[in-house]
Amino acid sequence: MIRLALYATAAGLTLATVSASAQEARPMTMPIDGTMLEISADGTSTRAPDLAMIQAGVVTQAATAGDAMRQNGTRMATVLAALRRAGVAERDIQTSSIALSPQYRYAQNEPPVITGYQASNQVTVRFRDIAKSGAILDALVKEGANNISGPNLMVDKPEAALDEARTAAVATARARAELYAKAAGLRVDRILSISESGAMPVPPRPMMMMRAEAAADATQVVAGESELRVSLSVRFLLK
């Protein structure tokens, strides 16, 4: 009987300890003495892009799947060799897609008939010297590339520009809070929280002009200017 009583007492002490720990772990909610105002604000900064991402590759067609892939592989090897000769580093060439699909002929009231196969191989190329990218693309076309798209122009290291945008966003939020406080006959006491909902470059419009056939003028890639934007949500305490 005594042993059972001791066990029960120990269990009770354990439960009491757990309950107390759970109570201590609960977050304390402090009452807000004033009016809370939440402001959403954007900040932007601009930079000249120093990196161009372009898709380049080869599409081939043949009567059989094997021939389509073999022809594609031969022409793609030539295109990759041209990229390397132009000085594009291995780290800046990455396969983005390889595809093989049947080609069909359709006729009314008849099942589709396979007429051949289409193979494609596409790589993503990073050009770190945008001014030279147009001439390199022209060389790729001469070597057999027949599927080119892009560019996606961007800032290679955007951290400093994004920090400028963050500073601008906080200043904008603060100015708006001051305006609301003044209109309400209050003053801004302090910032309660800052939440960043987005920090990204705003892509410029593609500026690449590809030629359908050889001409005297080279393909032009115009860098222009990129905008980087940060969106913040800032909570202020007004008194």
List, run by run, the mean pLDDT of 10-residue segments along the chain (239 residues): 35 41 50 89 94 95 97 96 94 97 93 96 95 90 93 92 96 97 96 86 49 56 90 96
DSSP E strands in the chain: the ranges are 35-47, 51-62, 93-105, 113-127, 147-154, 188-202, 208-209, 220-221, 226-238
For 116-130, letters b (16+ CB in 10 Å) and e give: ebbbbbbbbbbbeeb
- Return the pLDDT at 96: 96
- Return the pLDDT at 41: 96
- Return the pLDDT at 200: 66
Q: Are strands 113-127 and 35-47 parallel, antiparallel or unpaired?
A: unpaired
Asked whether the whole model's pTM tops 0.75, one would answer no
Domain spans of the chain, in order of start: 29-49+157-239, 51-154
Please count the helices (runs of H) and the strands (runs of E) in the chain.
Answer: 4, 9
Contact 165, 43 (CB under 8 A): yes
Q: Taking each helix axis from N to C terminus, what angle separates 65-85 and 130-142, rounded to the nearest 10 degrees?
A: 140
Which CATH superfamily groups domain 51-154? Protein of unknown function (DUF541), domain 2 (3.30.70.2970)
The fold adopted by the segment(s) 29-49+157-239 is Translation Initiation Factor IF3 (3.30.110)
What CA–CA distance (Å, rounded) separates 33 from 236? 12
- Return the pLDDT at 203: 55
N-term to C-term CA, the chain = 65
